[in-house]
Structure 1
């Protein structure tokens, strides 16, 4: 599912890269894990993006997830040519 969403975003923006952070939530429910940490890290490496695991219930890494997102957005705005700055797409 995450791949489909990423593909739609890339298709919509007409680029081959957008700032993405893969966030795995509910790490407090280890017994119900559906995606291994290794699979998440492998996908992040393949997509050249950052990743982290969080738990909203225990407040684990919530701030970190937002810090990573902001860093990726700031990094991407440094790479955008001047005429493109100021555009924003929220999906």
Structure 2
């Protein structure tokens, strides 16, 4: 059986660790230096629950609440990893804005999204509690994780979780469509 192709976009405020999460996942290394990303795409093939997936991870440029989000961030994207930094309240405000923009552009309430609080290793600098992140994810009806690209904590889980979310929503939508009866 050929691998399922999946395009996943990582979005969030600048310097929240989107690139660090992606590089840690794809290359098993932590990149400490920060060069602002314009846009980068990474490839990885994985197997989850017996299914092979060919992933294209779109590491987007950092967004802010005034960003014009390129149309390419909404075309042919299967799921979104929305990343904020636990030591930046501003990054959480920006991710709420990005989430609203995704819903506006997709015109669909069932968008595969997960919320990720990155930099959980910065315990002394924390501005956003686990409970606050979880509360927002619950209001969006999406999974929530905290991760640390630096300590490679929950990084694998982030990408497994978004793939499972894409599959769950796709299969649920497919079931709804197949039971539709027009009279």
Q: Would you call these one fold, judging by a TM-score over 0.5?
A: yes
Structure with higher strand content: 2
RMSD (Å), alpha carbons: 1.6
Distance 1:17 1:35 in 2: 26
Unaligned runs of 5+ in 2: 1-93, 176-183
Higher relative contact order (CA 8 A, sep 6+): 1
Q: How many residues align?
A: 83
Q: Which 4+ stretches in 1 moved above 4 angstroms?
A: none
Shift of 1:17: 2.7
1:23 to 92, 106, 116: 116
Structure whose alpha-carbon radius of gyration is higher: 2
Structure with higher helix content: 1
Task: Please give the TM-score of this superposition, normalised by the length of structure 1.
Answer: 0.83
Task: Please give the TM-score of this superposition, normalised by the length of structure 2.
Answer: 0.43
Shift of 1:22: 0.5
Unaligned runs of 5+ in 1: 83-91
